[in-house]
Amino acid sequence: MANIRAVRPDKVLQRKRISPWNDALYRLIRSTNAQVGLGIVIFLVLTAVVALVFWPYNPRIDSDLVNRLKPPSWASPRLDEKPGPGYAFFGTDDQGRDVFRRVVHGAPISLQVGLVSVSFALAFGSVLGLIAGFAGGRTDNLLMRLMDILLAFPSILLAIGIVAARGPGLNNTILAISVVNIPVYARIARSTTLSIKEQDYITAATCLGASDRRLIFRHVLPNSLSPIIVQGTLSIATAILEAAGLGFLGLGAQPPTPEWGAMLADGYKYLTIGAWWVLLFPGAAIMLTVLGFNLLGDGLRDALDPRMRGVGRM
Amino acid sequence: MIRYTIRRLLAVLPTLLGVTIIVFLFVHLIPGDPATAMLRENAPVEVADRIREQLGLNKPWFINLGEVNCPQQDPNVKSTTGGVFMTYHNCDKFGWFAALRYWQPRLDRPFDSQYLLYASKLLRGDLGQSLVTKNPIMDDLKLKFPATLELSVMAMLVAVGIGIPAGIISAVKQNTPIDTASMFISLAGVSMPIYWLGMMAMMVFAVWLHWVPAGTRLGNDIEIHRITNLYILDSLLTGNVKALGDSLKHIILPALVLGTVPMSILARMTRAAMLETLNQDYIRTAKAKGLAQRVVILRHALSNALLPTVTVIGLQVGGLMGGAVLTETIFSWPGIGRWVFESIQFRDYPVIQNVILVIALLYVLINLIVDLSYAVIDPRIRYT
């Protein structure tokens, strides 16, 4: 009895307030998919940082033609000559380069391609979509027609066309993948803008005399962010996959850059003699990376879905 | 329905126009222009000019508004290039303002431009010719397209045949190990580079186990009477059992590999759609009235859950065409995908440009068909 009297009534009725973002974060770290995905992504970022900072690599002076295409082993063919782990436990490639080292150094390249190209696409696409959704009418019609035209191409083919015309290389790969992804964001941003525009709080803000700029940046943009974030994570996955595909076709990063797709293209020549290690490891690295971002994206989608808010906790 | 169809058809026209313009612009994205790209670095300017004239690159891109005659700086060097609206003579050393200063308007033949020439050729079914083999692209396309068609159809059969049942089973047995396993496989399927999967499969099944041949469509020693160039269909039509067996053996691995992505996506889509329908009231009613589980799942749930899946199948065809470039390259499959790859190696721009155009047109057409068939299946779509 004494306990009950000691508690103030307003405290009893009050539920702990959680901001939507904190709630999403809470649900994100509780989902298994997201945990695994986040784990993989963090692992890759760490690998990239370690590779860049602590284990410098110059692919131009790395060939060692005596030890060409050696299968994976714990006994290093060149234990004393090179810095870093001396074991070629991923084997060596057609120029005697350590496959493990090249796979590790492929991580920063792929992450860079994924992040940069998606950031560009996200920035341009969302702005276009916001403009289209907000302006409506002719502007909307024209912009969305343009986006439809870009979407009429299978994405990898449009990317191939752009890179083939602009010339092979990592920068043009990034450019092509950005262009290919712009319509995706434009569509998402437009559809969320359209639905948000009809909300009562927008009408209220308009009545209070808010300018268009204030409406866009204070109300529409923050509220349309979550589907864009989810799509962003998922498109990093496809961007990495597409960049590797372009690299494989000889359009992306040029040799001797240790890009995973280009490494696969090198290894393809030795498929018939059974040199499986030059193929298995770069491909597995691509798969792990893409899987990580896909899982994280799926987890984010569930976490940011407002219909799921507060599920599983009270 | 007729009004919906007409409206949908009209909506496709600007898209088609835009697709041809973008494909046309590919050639003009080339630094310098295709003529300089094709030549070695220090080739004489006259040669580049001659190639420009042969390829029609000395005309303006879109509309002909006249010529810009800049004063010739070097008496030995003449050059002529097509700009967006005008033809430029000897303007290499002048900036963009040359157009303002030296423009000589001629409005008597506004339609004498590269794009309109290209478009009028397209309408006549002329895709130009390859720079390398000098063959008309249309002729090569007729030879190579059936190979891609055959591969894509088989891949789609794989995708539908495995993906949809897997999705149904996953949904019915939700949260069991079967569900987890099939969802993990489908997630892995969309996450791996298919050309890598292809190479690993080839390594295991062709190089190590010798179960299937590595690459190409048909063994060298097999005779086949070509009617449609779809080898499976041809061998069936002529009753050639040996050729049928051999072409099936050749196609199985590439079809499985190419079908992996659509299969995974279909499995996930079907599962999601099935889970949604299985929670509907009419399913509970059907169960309550004592129908067998099989009947409830296949007749009541599946037929409703398949509607979104139909759209996804249509959308996957585009991805299939993109994947064909990579898969055909791996398996030396003589279709249009490998053709694109080879043309990239030789910088055969007309081929790259026009094959991409053909694929994009096909993709637009398939999406149109999907949209229309969707309206037939689901009356709610016809919102006229």
Q: Quote the radius of gyration of chain A (alpha carbons, Å).
A: 25
Q: What is the pTM of this model?
A: 0.84
Rounded mean pLDDT of A86-113? 82
What is the rounded distance in angstroms from the CA atom of residue B141 to the CA atom of residue B354? Answer: 10
Distance to chain A for B365, nearest Cα, Å = 10
Count CB neighbours of A239 within 10 A. 29
Residues A236 and B76: their CA atoms lie apart, in Å, by 52
Contact B203 A279 (CB under 8 A): yes
pLDDT attached to residue A84: 45
Q: What is the 3-state secondary structure (H, E, C) of B24-69?
A: HHHHHHCCCCHHHHHCCCCCCHHHHHHHHHHHCCCCCCCCCCEEEE
Kindly determine whether residue B196 and residue A264, on different chains, have CB atoms separated by under 8 Å. Answer: yes
Euclidean distance between CA atoms A242 and A107, whole angstroms: 15
Instruction: Find the mean pLDDT for residues A211-240.
Output: 86
B306's torsion region: left (phi>0), alpha (psi -120 to 50) or beta?
alpha
Q: In what order do the strands lie in the sheet with B80-82?
A: B80-82, B87-89, B66-69, B103-105
Looking at residue B40, what is its pLDDT? 66
- The per-residue pLDDT for range A144-173, each reduced to its tens digit, is 889 988 888 888 888 988 898 888 889 999
pLDDT digits (tens, 9 = 90+) for A121-141: 999 999 999 889 888 889 898
> Burial, B146: exposed, middle or buried (Cβ in 10 Å; 0-12, 13-18, 19+)?
buried
In whole angstroms, give the CA distance from residue B169 to residue A300. Answer: 26
The encoded tokens of residue B196 equal: 């890598």
Residues of B in contact with A254 (CB under 8 A): none
CA angle A18, A24, A28 (to 5 degrees): 135
3-class secondary-structure state, position B81: strand
Residue A4 confidence class, pLDDT cut points 50, 70, 90: low
Using pLDDT thresholds of 50, 70 and 90, give the confidence band for residue A183: very high
Mean pLDDT on A208-233: 84
Strand-pair category, B103-105 with B66-69: antiparallel
CB contacts of A264 in chain B (<8 Å) are 193, 195-196, 199
- Report the gap between the CA of A210 and the closest CA in chain B (Å): 36
B340 contacts in chain A (CB < 8 Å): 157, 160
Of B128 and B99, the structure prediction assigns the larger pLDDT to B128
Contacts of B202 in chain A (CB under 8 A): 271
Q: Mean of the pLDDT values across residues B61-71?
A: 80
Note the ipTM here.
0.84
Nearest CB partner across the interface for B363, out of A152, A245, A283? A152
Whole-number pLDDT of residue A110: 92
Beta strands B103-105; B87-89: pairing state: unpaired
Specify the higher pLDDT residue, A240 or B293.
Answer: A240
Q: Give dist(CA B141, CA B351) in Å, integer.
A: 10
Q: Reply yes or no: is the peptide bond before residue A256 cis, omega within 30 of 0.
A: yes
Mean pLDDT of A106-130: 93
Residues of A in contact with B349 (CB under 8 A): 164-165
Q: How does the average pLDDT of chain A come out, rounded?
A: 82
Confidence of residue A236 (pLDDT cuts 50, 70, 90): very high
The yes-or-no verdict on residue A180 having pLDDT over 90 is yes
Query: DSSP character for B129?
Result: B
Q: Other CB atoms closer than 10 Å to residue B265's CB: what's the count? A: 22
Provide the token pair at B120.
Answer: 């009028």
pLDDT band at A247; cut points 50, 70, 90: very high
Report phi then psi at A285, rounded to 5. -65, -45
Contact call for B29 and A165, based on CB within 8 A: yes
pLDDT at residue A85, as a whole number? 47
pLDDT category at A311 given cuts 50, 70, 90 is: very low
Enumerate the residues of chain B whose CB falls inside 8 A of the CB of residue A244.
193
- Which residues of B fall within a CB distance of 8 Å from A156? 322-323, 325-326
Q: Does A148 touch chain B if contact means CB atoms closer than 8 Å?
A: yes
Residue among B188, B195, B199 whose CB faces A291 most closely: B188
Model pLDDT, residue A306? 63
The pLDDT of residue A79 is: 46
B310 to chain A, minimum CA–CA distance in Å? 18
Kindly report the nearest CA distance between residue B17 and chain A, in angstroms.
9
State percent of chain A over pLDDT 90.
Answer: 27
Taking CA atoms, what residue in B is nearest to A298? B187
Report the pLDDT averaged over residues A276-289. Answer: 91
Check residue B111 and give its pLDDT.
77
Q: Which residue has the tokens 């909307």?
A: A140
**Considering chain B, what percentage of its residues have pLDDT values greater than 70?**
94
Lowest mean pLDDT among B219-223, B300-304, B372-376: B219-223
Asked if A153 is an interface residue toward chain B (Cβ–Cβ < 8 A), one would say yes
Tokens 């339609």, located at residue: B111
What is the percent of chain B with per-residue pLDDT over 90, rounded to a whole number?
Answer: 12
Nearest to A253 by CA among A181, A178, A165, A163: A163
Q: Taking 60 as the threshold, does the pLDDT of residue B162 lie above it?
A: yes
What pLDDT, on a 0 to 100 scale, did the predictor assign at position A313?
A: 40
pLDDT score for A119? 94
The pLDDT value recorded for residue B235 is 79
Query: Do B356 and A161 make contact, defined as CB atoms within 8 angstroms?
Result: yes
Work out how many CB contacts closer than 8 A connect A with B.
Answer: 141
For residue B1, give every residue at least 6 positions away whose Cβ sits within 8 Å of its Cβ, in sequence order, or none.
Answer: B375, B376, B382
- Residue B384, pLDDT > 50, answer no
| 3-state SS record for B265-278 | HHHHHHHHHHHHHH
Are B84 and B62 a contacting pair, CB within 8 Å? Answer: yes
Nearest-Cα distance to chain B for A207, in Å, is 34
Q: Does A250 touch chain B (CB under 8 A)?
A: yes
Residue of B nearest to A168 (CA): B344
Please judge whether B326 and A150 are an interchain contact, meaning their C-beta atoms are less than 8 angstroms apart: no
pLDDT of A74: 61
Rounded to whole angstroms, the Cα distance separating B279 from B263 reads: 24
A274 pLDDT above the threshold of 70: yes
Q: Does A36 touch chain B (CB under 8 A)?
A: no
Interface with chain B: mutation pick from A145, A271, A277, A305, highest number of B CBs within 10 Å: A271
- What mean pLDDT is predicted for residues B37-43? 69
CA distance A207 to A213: 15
- Picking from A138, A145, A146, A149 by the largest number of B CB atoms within 10 A of its own CB, the best residue to mutate is A149
pLDDT tens for residues A10-65?
A: 555 556 667 777 777 777 777 788 888 999 999 999 999 988 888 877 777 776 66
Considering only residues B32 and B6, tell me which one the structure prediction assigns the higher pLDDT: B6
Do the Cβ atoms of A308 and A27 come closer than 8 Å? yes
Q: Which of A154-163, B96-105, B238-247 has the lowest mean pLDDT?
A: B96-105
Confidence of residue A176 (pLDDT cuts 50, 70, 90): very high
Q: Tell me if A228 sits within 8 A of A121, measured CB to CB.
A: no
At residue B175, does pLDDT exceed 80? Answer: yes
pLDDT class for B45, splitting at 50, 70, 90?
Answer: confident
Give the range with max mean pLDDT: A190-199, B131-140, B147-156.
Answer: B147-156
- Using CA atoms, how far residue B90 sits from B56, B103, B360, in Å, is 17, 13, 37
